[in-house]
Structure 1
Amino acid sequence: MTDDRGVWVHAMTRGLRDEGLVGVSGAGGSPVRTVQVGGLVAVVADVDLDDYGEAALRRNLGDLAWLESAATAHHRVAEAVWRHGPVVPTRLGTVYRDEAALRTELADRRVDLTATLDRLADRTEWGVKAYASRDRRPTGQPDDADGASPASTGVGTDYLRRRRARLAAGEATARAAVDSAEAVHTMLTRYAEAARRHRPQDRGLSGVPDWMVLNGAYLVHAERGAEFGELVRTLGTRYPGLRLELTGPWPPYSFATLGQGEST
């Protein structure tokens, strides 16, 4: 490997050989290969550091088109590895200057990575999002049933009273949605082996007009996936003010991520 070539690490696993990844491409479209150290396996793609070094990554991570393409390739590799056994997906953009630096990292973290792979064996990640409708009436839009303003009706006191009542009702509805989402998360957490709450996505990113009140990730044994899905459906019926969206199963991105390589 020349000095201007680095390795993009997609995932960590064990017991996987190169022949199990035939036809799988990773970062930059490069074919993936394995680097094995003491029973651990890193699944990597060789990359040009002019395009994937520290400065290039800082620039490219702000390019939405590049980011989408890189994330798709990263996820594709993690899923391919996951089909063969437990996987620790790495953070997007984990690049080492050379294979020697990666081998040193694997040796230094062998105990922790082995324990993590043991914990994730036969486990999958499920995502649950909860949405609630929320009135986002533009400021100044009339609240009266007939659209009249206080100036036109001459009953400003009654208008303000109705407006305050509507605002209070909206706040109560919002609180009820948050409380319901909290209850859903609590029950899903009790069922799962581990849980994470991610920040709710902005409407502009999610493409959903409703208000996201829960963005949860749950680690579930592979044999209990159907039961977990049934629990989500039951909770959706129990809390009709929420719309629950179930996604998965996925590799356990939320529960096992190796950080950025020191060499980037």
Structure 2
Amino acid sequence: MTVPMAGDPPVRGMWVYAVVPVPCPAPALTGVADEPLFTVERAGLAAVVGWVPLAGFATAGTGDDRDHVERIARAHHRVLTDLRARTASVPFRLGTVYRDDAGVADMLDQRRAPLREGLRLAAGRTEWGVKAYLHLLAPQPPVAEPPAAAGTGTAFLLRRRAERRAGELLLRQAAERADLIHRTLAGYAAVSRRYPPHDPRAAGAGQWTLLNAAYLVSDDDTTRFAGAAAGLEAVDPALRIEMSGPWPPYCAVAEPPGTGSP
């Protein structure tokens, strides 16, 4: 191994996959750069890590090479899935890289309280993503106005006021639907997180994004959680709910870890 001279930029960094309880052997899998994995321990916690070349990996979460990033993301997810099958784990964001094991150990020491709580919550639970969409009714044709009134300023203002009230009503009803869905599903979760909805236009023509959320659900309650989502959809023909998962429990901590410094 070549040791950089003092002042030279590092040529490799320590990629962090997740934090697990001690003791826990490192996965037999290799990591995002086909590197062997091992653990760094501090404060009763173990970080599963691997050495990666900084070129092409330190900025994996922000790169423009989509195929390269997707390959890295799949490898990262594969390690997280392997860990979860064997123990509770707090996953780290893609591209979390520290300079060395001392930096990782310091992170474990500084974040030991939230990480320990995250491990407690993650044990026996999985994250599920939920997106809810509202089918919008086709716009109704405007009511015909008497010819004499159609061009008056009063008629125009009344028309605009009615359109504004209709729009406000739609937004209020959508917010109420979103709150109801979230409250219902959160009742099955140890942790729930609501995120800003994606661009409503991304939902497709005639649909509006109501909810974008994640729920940390006990493995024993997954069937009931999915049934609750299906029940909400069944009683509201205008509603479509999409579930995705199971995912690593990113929402087990208030702020998903991922702020390493190469």
Same fold (TM over 0.5): yes
Aligned to 2:24: 16
Gaps of 5+ in 2: 5-10
Distance 2:64 2:106 in 1: 32
Could you report, residue by residue, the CA deviation over 1:13-37 in whole angstroms, capped at 9, with x for unpaired residues?
134323xx33x3433x323412141
Shift in CA distance, 216/64, structure 1 to aligned 2, threshold 3 Å: farther
Aligned to 1:93: 95
Shift in CA distance, 95/179, structure 1 to aligned 2, threshold 3 Å: same
Distance 2:34 2:219 in 1: 31
Find the partner of 1:156 among 151, 156, 169: 151
Gaps of 5+ in 1: none
Aligned to 1:173: 170
Task: Give SS of 2:252's match.
Answer: coil
Distance 1:214 1:64 in 2: 30
Q: 8 Å contact 1:32–1:43 — kept in the other structure?
A: no
Find the partner of 2:214 among 213, 217, 237: 217
Find the partner of 1:6 among 13, 19, 28: 13
Find the partner of 1:73 among 41, 53, 75: 75
**Is 1:49 aligned to 2:57, yes or no?**
no
- The offset of 1:180, in angstroms, is 0.9
Distance 1:136 1:68 in 2: 38
Q: 8 Å contact 1:128–1:244 — kept in the other structure?
A: yes
Shift in CA distance, 174/110, structure 1 to aligned 2, threshold 3 Å: closer
**Is 1:35 aligned to 2:34, yes or no?**
no
**Is 1:61 aligned to 2:65, yes or no?**
no
Identity in percent: 37
Q: 8 Å contact 2:121–2:190 — kept in the other structure?
A: no
Report the number of matched residues. Answer: 246
What letter corresponds to residue 196 of structure 1 in structure 2? R
What letter corresponds to residue 30 of structure 1 in structure 2? D
